[in-house]
A = this chain, B = another copy of it.
Amino acid sequence: MARGQHRLTVVSNRGPIQYAQLDGERVALRGGGGLVSALRGLIGNHEVTWIVCAISAEDHVVAAEQNGRALDETDAVGNAFKLHFADPAPDDFAAMYGTIANPLLWFIQHGLYASGEDPVISTDIREAWAGYRRYNAAVATEAAMERDCDALMIHDYQLALVPAMLREAGVDAPILHFTHIPWPEPEAWKQLPVDLRTELLHGLLGSDIVGFHTQQDVTNFLATCEVHLPQVTVDRERACVRMTIDHVARDVHIRSYPISIDPAELRAHMRNPEMIAAHAELIRTRPEKLILRVDRTDPSKNILRGFHAYGRLLERRPDLHGRVQLLSLLDPSRLAVPVYANYLKRINAIAAEINDTHGSDGWLPIDLRIGDNFPVVVAAYREYDALLVNSIADGMNLISKEAPLLNERDGVVVLSERAGSFEELEPWVLRVDPLDVEQTAAQLERALELPQPERGERAAAIRAFVEDHDVARWIDLQLVDLELLAEARA
């Protein structure tokens, strides 16, 4: 694997395209989503074959037609790549998605379970795990067909078993698996029964490089291997796990690559007429002091405590009544999973309660908007005075990078110490312990009151950092490590 342009096989559950039938014709819907945007630079600069899971009805038709050969496609900005569908059984996909990935792995990895009640490891979970395994195998089978490449890059917790399956299939190109959600401490993994936990770890350790967003995740992963896999050797200094199978040793490198955004792409949105209109509307209606939160409606985002903290701020500072508003742009998420549907209900109830308690005729304390409304998000990024990101746990949290990049009012970022981005942005944000609503209220107050030039200095520093540490750098760091690995082998 030489430096420069590479032939790469990317593997992920969702990819840049879904097919649909529209008026009797097949159309390709080119969507966004964090990972797809993040990997755009990869497609633009390298020869990429992307293995994705067939999800729509038309995807299944295309998958049946492809007959083992990748399709020539283009992404949303016109870059060419090859698309190769995996087509796991719908039941296996459902088990992976609705039982194992969400909520089981998501809840364990974000520390969301109260063990007194959940999870209950039952026959249902074991049957779903078998589905998760078959789903991974279906994807690995297709990925193995694209083994003739410089490296395979496999994404996220839906596909944790794929690396070991590829190795088993004799794939010898370097394999990097990237986990986009937090990796908790060994104790948390006791929530997954020992056989499943061992299978998950061995799945990931089929890679040459196991990637995470933060150094904390790397530390926790090494500790997890040390505690839960007595047969491997963990070298914390070199951040690697040594596997010895039939007297042959192999090192798996555990690395952090903090994901980021594409500043130029994000800025380009501001020139879009729809975005300009949304911005004009927000300027017209905005309060004197605008607090913003933008999130999926996921318990890990800690929306309820965020509302409580804002309520405490209103109690402490009656002088702010009528002058401040918390704009909450919340994208409904995973509503088919009961705990998520219930969470959205609670969000609505608590926002209503705070509005009832503190609001008045001309003033709505919380402007709660449930839905996916990107133009308003971009407008609000430009306009906030304080941004609240108080996640209980968060792999990275790109909002804390996007919003400061576009902000035009020297807005202050109030950031959870448990968001992945806190590792990078700590010097310039106001830190909050996500469980501490009183401290969160105090930091929101401080964010609104912080004087110049400090506001401007903090905001400028985050902008400069994000400009410099963009998504291209995220990809480059991974490719450099893969190159070094290939050189070391050669």
Contact = CB atoms under 8 A, between A and B. Distances in A.
A115 interface: yes
Contacts of A302: 116
A392 interface: yes
A302 B117 CA distance: 8
B435 A117 contact: no
Interface string A113-125: 1111111111100
A85 to B, nearest CB: 34
Contacts of A112: 114-116
A437 B120 contact: yes
Contacts of A220: 187
B126 A438 contact: yes
Nearest to A436: B121
Contacts of A185: 185-187
A19 interface: no
Given A112-B114, A113-B114, A114-B113, A119 B435 contact: yes
A83 to B, nearest CB: 37
A439 B392 contact: no
B435 A123 contact: no
Interface string A428-463: 000001011111000000000000000000000000
B435 A305 contact: no
B121 A438 contact: yes
A436 B299 CA distance: 24
Contacts of A190: 418, 433, 435
Contact of A122 (B113, B193, B433, B437): B437
B436 A116 contact: no
A308 interface: yes
A117 B433 contact: no
Interface string A162-202: 00000000000000000000001111101101100000000
Contacts of A102: none
Given A111-B115, A112-B116, A194-B433, A438 B122 contact: yes
A435 B115 contact: yes
B116 A299 contact: yes
A343 interface: yes
A116 B300 CA distance: 6
Interface string A141-167: 000000000000000000000000000
Most central of A110, A116, A184, A305 by chain B CB within 10 Å = A116
A121 B439 contact: yes
Contacts of A437: 120-122
A304 interface: yes
Given A115-B393, A120-B308, A120-B437, 11 more contacts: A114-B118, A115-B392, A116-B299, A121-B435, A121-B436, A122-B308, A123-B312, A126-B438, A187-B188, A190-B435, A194-B433
29 contacts: A111-B115, A112-B115, A114-B114, A115-B392, A115-B393, A116-B299, A116-B302, A116-B304, A116-B343, A116-B392, A117-B299, A119-B435, A120-B308, A120-B437, A121-B433, A121-B435, A121-B437, A121-B438, A122-B308, A122-B312, A122-B438, A126-B438, A187-B187, A187-B188, A187-B220, A190-B433, A190-B435, A193-B439, A194-B433
Interface of A: 110-123, 126, 184-188, 190-191, 193-194, 220, 299-300, 302, 304-305, 308, 312, 343, 392-393, 418, 433, 435-439
